[in-house]
């Protein structure tokens, strides 16, 4: 039987509408000399805590959780392992923006630059005086353009596969209402697309079920270049413009010659929130920058009663 601590301390925030729940105390630290090893140890020994923290009845499907760890690289403030209702993430753009604002709330950082270690690499973030945050993400790249798929119930479609800290399939579909009133249809469509991507074995990773699916359309804000809908691995949608997703989008735009280095791309989310993004070259790497805003929404203690039959959360 899994064991639970008596309590876990968390700080909640949202970035452009997408929630982040950062665990700051009470969770046994995973072992490992690298963040990737720590993520593997967390999945092996403490996965029941992941489920308990982000799933109902304490959480809900939209929450992305994060566990703070000591840093692994010299000069980093901390390490962070991101997870959701389904499994673990390599990186999380909105989550990292939320982590920086949370660390400020905890008086651990001030405006300026902070480095945070993740399982896919060290990410730099700048907390600005106006409380916005710019993250310098891990390198992004376009893996494959114009991948043809046959989607049951939809028909043939094409899309691009790209990495922005997580894997994304960016579907080429036009004329779809990207409004909140169309969530049911958008979720059903993107789930069908993801199933087709998984079935085709097109994503060059072992955990194919962790792919995100993105659809883009015209913006509704005058200051945006595009609007998106992002299906997350656990089946819910991203309320923010999705930091790793827009990083993947930038890599595709650059590959197609549709954006230049340093050119600003303003991505609107389905909720109307905005990220401002651009690419810079670091040697052979394309490095995405994503600027957005997060707000701390609460600080609380999660309690675990040994008699609670749903202490470990309600499964998918």
Residues ≥6 apart with Cβ < 8 Å to 76? 115, 116, 117, 122
Question: Distance between CA 291 and CA 131 in Å, rounded?
Answer: 11
Residues ≥6 apart with Cβ < 8 Å to 307? none
By the 10 Å C-beta count (0-12 exposed, 13-18 middle, 19+ buried), 70 is classed as exposed
Q: What are phi and psi of 182, to 5 degrees?
A: -110, 20
For the chain, the distance separating the N- and C-terminal CA atoms, rounded to the nearest angstrom, is 20
The answer to whether the beta carbons of residues 237 and 178 sit under 8 Å apart is: no
* Residues facing residue 267 across a β-bridge: 226, 275
Question: Distance between CA 261 and CA 13 in Å, rounded?
Answer: 31
* Residue 242 annotated among the catalytic residues of the structure: yes
Which is the catalytic residue, given 92, 142, 232, 277? 92
The answer to whether the beta carbons of residues 304 and 52 sit under 8 Å apart is: yes
* Residue 92 annotated among the catalytic residues of the structure: yes
Angle, CA 214 vertex, CA 172 and CA 218 arms, to 5°: 65
C-alpha separations of 224 from 56, 171, 264, 273 in Å = 35, 20, 10, 10
Which is the catalytic residue, given 142, 232, 242, 277? 242
State both tokens at 69: 């760890």
Provide the annotated active-site residues.
Answer: 92, 242
């Amino acid at each position: 039987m899994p064991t639970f601590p008596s309590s876990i301390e968390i700080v909640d925030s949202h970035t452009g509408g997408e929630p982040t729940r950062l665990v700051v105390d009470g969770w046994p630290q995973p072992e490992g000399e690298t963040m990737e090893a720590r993520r593997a140890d967390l999945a092996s020994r403490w996965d029941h805590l992941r489920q308990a923290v982000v799933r109902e009845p304490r959480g809900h499907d939209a929450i992305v959780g994060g566990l703070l760890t000591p840093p692994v690289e010299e000069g980093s403030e901390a390490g962070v392992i991101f997870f959701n209702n389904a499994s673990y993430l390599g990186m999380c753009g909105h989550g990292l923006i939320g982590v920086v604002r949370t660390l400020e709330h905890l008086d651990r950082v001030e405006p300026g630059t902070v480095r945070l270690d993740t399982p896919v690499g060290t990410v730099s973030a700048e907390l600005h005086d106006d409380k916005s945050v710019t993250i310098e993400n891990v390198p992004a790249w376009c893996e494959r353009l114009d991948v043809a798929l046959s989607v049951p119930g939809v028909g043939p479609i094409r899309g691009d596969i790209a990495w922005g800290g997580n894997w994304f399939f960016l579907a080429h579909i036009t004329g779809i209402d990207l409004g909140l009133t169309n969530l049911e249809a958008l979720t059903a469509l993107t789930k069908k697309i993801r199933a087709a991507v998984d079935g085709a074995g097109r994503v060059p990773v072992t955990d194919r079920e962790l792919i995100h699916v993105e659809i883009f359309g015209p913006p509704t804000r005058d200051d945006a270049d595009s609007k998106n809908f992002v299906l997350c691995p656990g089946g819910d949608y991203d309320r923010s413009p999705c930091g790793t997703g827009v990083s993947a989008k930038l890599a595709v735009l650059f590959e197609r010659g549709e954006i230049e280095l340093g050119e600003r791309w303003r991505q609107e989310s389905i909720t109307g929130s905005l990220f401002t993004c651009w690419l810079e070259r670091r040697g052979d790497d394309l490095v995405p920058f994503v600027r957005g805003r997060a707000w701390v929404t609460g600080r609380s203690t999660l309690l675990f009663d040994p008699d609670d039959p749903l202490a470990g959360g309600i499964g998918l």
